[in-house]
Amino acid sequence: MTIEDAAAEIAGVMKKAGLVWLSWNGGRPAPAWFATVDGQYVVLADAAESAEQPLPGLAAAGSADVVVPAKPATNRLASWKATVRRLDPGSDEWTTAAQVLRTERLNAAGLDTQLERWKTEADLLVLEPTGEITEAAGRYDATPRAEAPIGTKATTRGKPPVTLHRRIRRRPRLS
């Protein structure tokens, strides 16, 4: 398969996705929203690891595995390898990508300061296909991907109350 054929196949599956799963440096896959800008796939990686889109270390990784989920996200449409290139803040390419990402970003806080915040606190990264498609229709890897959940400080409140999901019987009123 030529790079042009692979790019066309990747473009076809990326049109169907609003979210991809990225893994780099052997780490766990992380969800990432993206935008297509002039035929390139751009993601926002929060350098300060705030609430925008934490993808720590992706900018320095140099390459990533991209998994495109199907809808509903129980299956994969495709997986492909990408090189990661950081856009220089303030450049024309960065500004164009930031404007497109801004329109794609749902539920953003602080829209009036968003672009200035991205210049200082985030990296805009281009995922450039290498031409290697690792999975596609009819060519799926059978390796199980079940993993233990990531550890968290979240806990339950404790034992549920005795009356949970039980109807309380009321005695009829005597008049």
Q: With 0-12 CB in 10 A as exposed, 13-18 as middle and 19+ as buried, what is 1?
A: exposed
The model's pLDDT over 150-171, given as tens digits with 9 standing for 90+, comes to 777 776 677 766 665 666 666 7
Q: What is the DSSP letter of 167?
A: P
Spatial separation of the C-alpha atoms in residues 100 and 15, rounded to whole Å: 15
Give, as one character, the DSSP assignment of residue 54: B
With a cut of 90, say whether residue 108 has pLDDT above it: no
Q: What is the mean pLDDT of residues 96-124?
A: 83
Answer yes or no: are the C-beta atoms of 67 and 41 closer than 8 Å.
Answer: no
Backbone angles phi, psi at 89, to 5 degrees: -55, 135
pLDDT of residue 61: 92
Whole-angstrom Cα distance, residue 13 to residue 173? 65
In order of their start, the domains of the chain are: 3-135 (2.30.110.10)
The more confident residue out of 19 and 142 is 19
Of 13 and 49, the one with more pLDDT:
13
Task: Give percent above pLDDT 70 in the chain.
Answer: 83
Neighbours of 159 (CB within 10 A): 7
